[in-house]
Amino acid sequence: MTIPERRNYSSPVRSARARQTRANVVAAAGRLFAERGYAGTSMRQIAAAAGVSLETVTQTGRKADLLLAAFRDGFAGNPDAVNLDGLVGRGRLEELPEMVARLAAGVRRSLPIWRAFTTAAMADPAVAAVRAELVVARRAEIVARLEEAGVPASDRLADAIGLLTSHEAYDHLTGVCGWPHEDYVTWATEAIRTQLAGALGA
């Protein structure tokens, strides 16, 4: 008797349902992390908020993984990539104010989850490692954008632009110093323009 080979069955409906469940879990985790912080949020609470079982949440990822996914989702609108597209290298310098405004909107939207992310990095080595990786990846991405624009790229220039557009800078100026969001956008735009002009020798 010949035993038929087992076929791999992939259902588009099942795949779509799994993606939606993951998105719901990440969204619920993001809300709780932003409201309660990393330490104050448990996997069981995430499960309850998402309306799924604890097993489903643990299958989605570790707590640190959910925090990172929630941050990325809040910052870029995409759970799989932090996107700095358009900051430099994808348009003319005249378009810089609009580019910075879009990036600043993402920073403002994701600020609560970034605060949770930063706090978690001080207590959780796994989160700290991911945060360090993000810094390196962000620098590399800015360097790549500069090179695409024909700007002599360096780690120092990329770091300066990264700082100007960082959550830390935005939080300090708008949260601590009380700057309106629009004033931050104007300041960041001019500061980046100055950095780029210096690199171009203008």
Specify the higher pLDDT residue, 86 or 190. Answer: 190
- Predicted pLDDT of residue 171: 96
Average pLDDT rounded to a whole number, residues 68-85: 58
Q: Is residue 84 part of a domain?
A: yes
Predicted confidence (pLDDT) per residue in 98-139, tens digit = 888 988 998 898 888 888 988 989 988 888 988 888 888 888
- Predicted pLDDT of residue 201: 74
What is the count of structural domains for the chain? 1
Q: Is residue 55 part of a domain?
A: no
Predicted confidence (pLDDT) per residue in 166-183, tens digit = 999 999 999 999 999 999
CA distance 37 to 35: 6
Report if pTM > 0.85.
Answer: no
- Among residues 49, 55, 53, the alpha carbon closest in space to that of 26 is found at 49
Q: Is residue 87 part of a domain?
A: yes
Q: Which residues contact 110 (CB under 8 A, 6 or more apart)?
A: 71, 74, 75, 167
Question: Cα–Cα distances in Å, from 13 out to 9, 17, 35, 57, 129?
Answer: 12, 6, 33, 20, 36
131 touches 117 (CB < 8 A) = yes
- Predicted pLDDT of residue 74: 67
Q: Is residue 167 part of a domain?
A: yes
38 touches 116 (CB < 8 A) = yes
Structure tokens of 137?
């990846």
Q: Which residues contact 25 (CB under 8 A, 6 or more apart)?
A: 46, 47, 50, 52, 56, 57, 60, 66
Widest CA span of the chain, in angstroms? 81
Q: Is residue 34 part of a domain?
A: no
% of the chain with per-residue pLDDT over 70: 85
Q: Is residue 2 part of a domain?
A: no
Annotate 16-42 with DSSP letters as a single string.
HHHHHHHHHHHHHHHHHHHHH-STT--
Q: Is residue 107 part of a domain?
A: yes
Q: Is residue 122 part of a domain?
A: yes
- Structural domain for 122, as ranges: 62-200
Predicted confidence (pLDDT) per residue in 52-62, tens digit = 999 999 999 89
- Predicted pLDDT of residue 55: 94
